[in-house]
Chains A and B, each alone.
Chain A
């Protein structure tokens, strides 16, 4: 039997494990992202590759050491580097002497069908539908609760209360294997988290929009838990980049992209790969919705986000919203990040007081 693994990206492992298990495959979830993952990744990756590639590679090596023999990975047709990750990682793993099969899911229906047929040894439609439904519901529940957590951290009565509930929710979600169960769990935790609601830590609401590259936004290990830090500083956070949004966009289930393209149009008139145009478009949308600030994050040397970074100062000026760009690599440290976030939130707080006073 095949022993399947996949790269980490936030809590993606919960629905991914459910999906492959339902399809009757053995799943090896790579150990949580850690310093060791990063070190392994850095050691064997090209020096100037972007951070997600390095961490993915670390995940793969750790999972292969635990007996995985098949890797499922995403693909793409550019211009972002992610589309070529699989090809490079495969070459590196081969060079390191691992005997591994890598299945790269391309945005090409026929090829995707072939890959999946190979993986599951056939194409059991009904089973795929059920497994897909279960995974999809997990993703929706996960993202829904996450949205709530981003709001409630700034108003919790006891420090760390919301995160404790969130972690408990995730652990239970991993165990729940029915759609009804997932919905019950979602309702239960929505109420529990809502109950923590107290006063704003800063005496007023500070709303931050988080934009940037998807991996950096979704994976707390690489963004140094920026969302949690912002919550602790008393800011409520909103973001548009979730696994559910990404999937529904990928499968053309929504027209979110049109809204974003339109918002970005005065500043950026072309798709630039990855989430570059999303960063610009969503920053504009947050500004128009009256947010207090935008934080833009991405991995060091990320091409689409460099385009966005170049354009965001103009957005900030013309739309009148403070913004800060933070790029992360393997050398990014907690202390530096906290200082910058504190300064940014303080600045916004003071700006808001002056505006209110007037």
Chain B
């Protein structure tokens, strides 16, 4: 049987989509993806969420709504932990339940519990759970699983060559990606934040694209080897348990203290209401004071953020960097 599997283009999508797509297609399913975030999706998501929920999850609701009556199953994994000593934000842990409580009529969810602390080959076990639920032949699932793993590796490798996840996805699809860089002004700036924000053009108001148009070479955390970030994050005496934040913090510390390829500025992008960021950004800010020649910009995004204000701030920041560079 071929089912339509709905995948919301938000949150975990930005980390794992290429492998999910391969996995479901190899099992003979049809993958239905929600469109890129737009005003309607954002507004509908905001309308359905409780006020205090952070923006990326509100957007997730908007994407779920797009898929509701178009699919047989909705793929909403429940992330618990991606390894020993790490956790994710509580909202990821409750996501399937939150989706069910928010929407009265939802298609059945495929909601594997992703807790990679336990057992041998936990991911493979999860793959087979999904396969069983969709009544797919064991060996077909096994094959799909290995293909998906390979895809995820390719996806990571392309990003480490200096592409953002969105570009890497396009390269996997089309083999190449158009360059949008403007006149090179010799500046290197890091844009650090959760991939589901920096990589969502609408949500982040395309900070990366705007910077590139200004001629800036942009670095994002996906472009580093994970081991490098992990090592840099160890500067914090107590291991940070939120895995996605450990990457962000690791990237910041790596650029501040270890990297040989210098950046002139670091832009931290945070969504309003993000719990882990509220603490981690403080630690990074305190540490950044030790490093006088890297400038910092904090950008907080909420549902009322406007492009005009953002571009002004980015331009001012880049002007400042250029002037500092000439001095």
Interface residues of A (CB under 8 A from B): 45-50, 53, 75, 77-81, 83-88, 91-92, 95, 104, 267-274, 276, 300-304, 306-307, 309-311, 313-314, 325, 327
Looking at the assembled complex, report how far the CB atom of B19 sits from the nearest CB atom of chain A, in whole angstroms.
23
* 8 Å CB contact of A46 from B90, B113, B279: B279
Q: Are A87 and B90 in contact (CB under 8 A)?
A: no
B78 interfacial by beta-carbon distance below 8 Å:
yes
Give chain A residues whose Cβ lies under 8 Å from the Cβ of B281.
46
Give chain B residues whose Cβ lies under 8 Å from the Cβ of A79.
87-90, 93, 241-242
Q: Are B286 and A301 in contact (CB under 8 A)?
A: no
Some 15 contacts from A to B, beta carbons below 8 A apart, are A46-B278, A48-B272, A48-B273, A75-B238, A77-B85, A77-B87, A91-B282, A92-B282, A268-B94, A303-B91, A306-B91, A307-B90, A311-B101, A313-B101, A325-B50
17 further A-B pairs in the complex, CB-CB below 8 A; given A307-B98, A310-B49: A46-B278, A47-B278, A50-B275, A78-B242, A80-B90, A87-B283, A91-B283, A91-B286, A104-B238, A268-B94, A269-B78, A270-B78, A276-B90, A306-B52, A306-B53, A307-B90, A307-B94
A99 to B273, CA, bound (A): 32
A75 to B241, CA, bound (A): 12
Q: Are B94 and A78 in contact (CB under 8 A)?
A: no
A204 to B97, CA, bound (A): 36
Whether A311 touches B97, Cβ cut-off 8 Å, given contacts A48-B273, A303-B91, is yes
The 10 closest A-B pairs by CB, nearest first: A78-B241, A307-B94, A48-B278, A46-B282, A78-B87, A79-B87, A273-B90, A303-B90, A272-B90, A314-B101
Q: Are B94 and A276 in contact (CB under 8 A)?
A: yes
Which A residue sits closest to B92, measured CB to CB?
A79
Which B residue sits closest to A313, measured CB to CB?
B101
* 8 Å CB contact of B90 from A84, A274, A300, A327: A274
B2 interfacial by beta-carbon distance below 8 Å:
no
A46 to B286, CA, bound (A): 11
B80 interfacial by beta-carbon distance below 8 Å:
yes
B305 interfacial by beta-carbon distance below 8 Å:
no
Looking at the assembled complex, report how far the CB atom of B105 sits from the nearest CB atom of chain A, in whole angstroms.
13
Which B residue sits closest to A298, measured CB to CB?
B52
Which A residue sits closest to B88, measured CB to CB?
A79
Interface of B is mostly: mixed
A77 to B87, CA, bound (A): 8
Please encode chain B, from 268 to 282, with 1 for each CB lying within 8 Å of some chain A CB and 0 for all others: 000011111111011
Q: Are B93 and A272 in contact (CB under 8 A)?
A: yes
Q: Are B282 and A86 in contact (CB under 8 A)?
A: no
* 8 Å CB contact of B278 from A75, A301, A313: A301
B102 interfacial by beta-carbon distance below 8 Å:
yes
Give chain A residues whose Cβ lies under 8 Å from the Cβ of B49.
310
A335 to B109, CA, bound (A): 43
Interface residues of B in 236-253 (CB under 8 A from A): 236-238, 240-242
A272 to B100, CA, bound (A): 16
* 8 Å CB contact of B97 from A86, A95, A269, A303: A269
Give chain A residues whose Cβ lies under 8 Å from the Cβ of B101.
267, 310-311, 313-314
A79 to B80, CA, bound (A): 9
Looking at the assembled complex, report how far the CB atom of B22 sits from the nearest CB atom of chain A, in whole angstroms.
27
Looking at the assembled complex, report how far the CB atom of B133 sits from the nearest CB atom of chain A, in whole angstroms.
16
* 8 Å CB contact of A307 from B88, B91, B236: B91
Give chain B residues whose Cβ lies under 8 Å from the Cβ of A313.
101
A322 to B78, CA, bound (A): 29
A164 to B273, CA, bound (A): 40
**Which of B88, B96, B241, B277: most chain A CB closer than 10 A?**
B241
A50 to B102, CA, bound (A): 25
* 8 Å CB contact of B279 from A49, A267, A304, A307: A49
Looking at the assembled complex, report how far the CB atom of B270 sits from the nearest CB atom of chain A, in whole angstroms.
8
Please encode chain B, from 253 to 278, with 1 for each CB lying within 8 Å of some chain A CB and 0 for all others: 00000000000000000001111111
A77 to B236, CA, bound (A): 15
Looking at the assembled complex, report how far the CB atom of A34 sits from the nearest CB atom of chain B, in whole angstroms.
24
Give chain A residues whose Cβ lies under 8 Å from the Cβ of B91.
272, 303, 306-307
* 8 Å CB contact of B102 from A104, A310, A327: A310
Give chain B residues whose Cβ lies under 8 Å from the Cβ of A325.
50
Give chain A residues whose Cβ lies under 8 Å from the Cβ of B238.
75, 84, 86-87, 104
A161 to B275, CA, bound (A): 41
A268 to B276, CA, bound (A): 22
A281 to B96, CA, bound (A): 17
A49 to B279, CA, bound (A): 6
A307 to B100, CA, bound (A): 12
A91 to B236, CA, bound (A): 10
Looking at the assembled complex, report how far the CB atom of B99 sits from the nearest CB atom of chain A, in whole angstroms.
9
A77 to B243, CA, bound (A): 12
Give chain A residues whose Cβ lies under 8 Å from the Cβ of B97.
267-270, 307, 311
Interface residues of B in 274-302 (CB under 8 A from A): 274-279, 281-283, 286
Q: Are B236 and A87 in contact (CB under 8 A)?
A: yes
Give chain A residues whose Cβ lies under 8 Å from the Cβ of B279.
46, 49, 53, 81, 84-85, 88
Please encode chain B, from 126 to 156, with 1 for each CB lying within 8 Å of some chain A CB and 0 for all others: 0000000000000000000000000000000
Which A residue sits closest to B95, measured CB to CB?
A307
Q: Are B50 and A301 in contact (CB under 8 A)?
A: no
A272 to B98, CA, bound (A): 12
Give chain A residues whose Cβ lies under 8 Å from the Cβ of B240.
84
A314 to B89, CA, bound (A): 22
A83 to B87, CA, bound (A): 11
Whether A301 touches B52, Cβ cut-off 8 Å, given contacts A81-B276, A87-B237, A307-B98, is yes
Give chain A residues whose Cβ lies under 8 Å from the Cβ of B85.
77
